[in-house]
Amino acid sequence: MHLLEGKGVSIHFGGLAAVSDVDFYVDEGEIVGLIGPNGAGKTTLFNLISAALEPKPGEILLKGKRINGLKPYQICRLGIARTFQTVKIFGSLPAIENVRIGSLFGPLNRLSTMEATKEAIELLEFVGLSDVASAPAKDLTLSSQKRLEVARALATRPALLLLDEIMAGLNQTELLEAMELVKKIQKRGVTVVMIEHVMKAIMGICDRIIVLHHGKKIGDGTPQEVANSKTVIEVYLGEASDAGD
Ligand SMILES: Nc1ncnc2c1ncn2[C@@H]1O[C@H](COP(=O)(O)OP(=O)(O)OP(=O)(O)O)[C@@H](O)[C@H]1O
Ligand SMILES: [Mg+2]
């Protein structure tokens, strides 16, 4: 059984088919890349999986159980966490509080405040933010704010983590660190779906890549299969394949 599966997942905004009849799956332990041109429907698909939006029509299954119609907090407690393309942190709160919120309110079995603090300290170290634990989140660099969202998401103890462009705008050193972080998350036992435009990262760490274009799935395969797909090259890679170099 797949960890996550989508069947005919669709959503329309007025006349725009933002996501259209997309079948997909994610297996436990994978790092799956979700790529495609701007406006392809990638973030919208994350919004559908995390229940910010409801598919119409279509079905989303987590470990074989239908999850559409649930509330976002229920999805979180079932083990799906996410980050946001435009970061959504609690800016005036210290970084560590942002993570503690994940620990305290995310998991089904809530932690005590002491356990939450301990976990937040460990997660800040895990994402490389121990030095700024007490700083207001808004004072962190954008790249650190993205890491903070990763820590907060991990604090909810997900089985599946959805990362929406955590590598955008990073320099080469930061990019390698971010790739390393995603591999470390996988080693921790968390399955990852990552939206990225940075091809170096996608090709370097993904086990499988799903490609969207105008809301439709136009590719699904290993990095090599996708890189060699004529359709994918035509609509996306032709232009973007150098983007991460
Ligand atoms: N809530 C909404 N209401 C109306 N249109 C929307 C809404 N959310 C997304 N869209 C539209 O749906 C399409 C897909 O948007 P989406 O944000 O999913 O693209 P994306 O693949 O994440 O692009 P990018 O790489 O630029 O982040 C776009 O045309 C967008 O304008
Ligand atoms: Mg997006």
Alpha-carbon span 78 to 158, nearest angstrom: 8
38 lines ligand 1 (CB under 6 A): yes
Residue 188: CA count within 13 A, CB half-sphere: 21
Average per-residue pLDDT for the chain: 94
- The model's pLDDT over 112-130, given as tens digits with 9 standing for 90+, comes to 899 999 999 999 999 999 9
**Residue 124 within any structural domain of the chain:** no
Whether 238 has a pLDDT exceeding 50, the answer reads: yes
Identify the nearest ligand to the CA of 39 by its number: 1
Q: How far is the CA of 15 from the centre of ligand 2 (A)?
A: 19
Strand pairing class (160-164; 4-13): unpaired
Pocket test for ligand 1, best of 12, 19, 42, 44 (most atoms within 8 A of CB): 44
Q: Give the atom of ligand 1 at the shortest distance from the alpha carbon of 37.
A: 25
Q: How many domains does the chain have?
A: 1
Q: Percent of the chain having pLDDT more than 70?
A: 97
**Residue 179 within any structural domain of the chain:** no
**Residue 211 within any structural domain of the chain:** yes
| Residue 165 C-alpha from the chain's centroid | 8
**Residue 119 within any structural domain of the chain:** no
Strand pairing class (4-13; 80-82): unpaired
**Residue 47 within any structural domain of the chain:** yes
**Residue 140 within any structural domain of the chain:** no
Mean pLDDT check: name the lowest of 23-32, 118-127, 193-202, 233-242. Answer: 233-242
CB-CB contact of 99 with 118 (8 Å): no
**Residue 233 within any structural domain of the chain:** yes
Domain that residue 220 falls in: 1-77+193-245
* CA-closest candidate to residue 145, choices 188, 83, 82: 83
Alpha-carbon span 21 to 64, nearest angstrom: 19
Question: Residue 54 is part of a domain; what is its CATH number?
Answer: 3.40.50.300
CB-CB contact of 106 with 154 (8 Å): no
pTM (two decimals): 0.95
**Residue 183 within any structural domain of the chain:** no
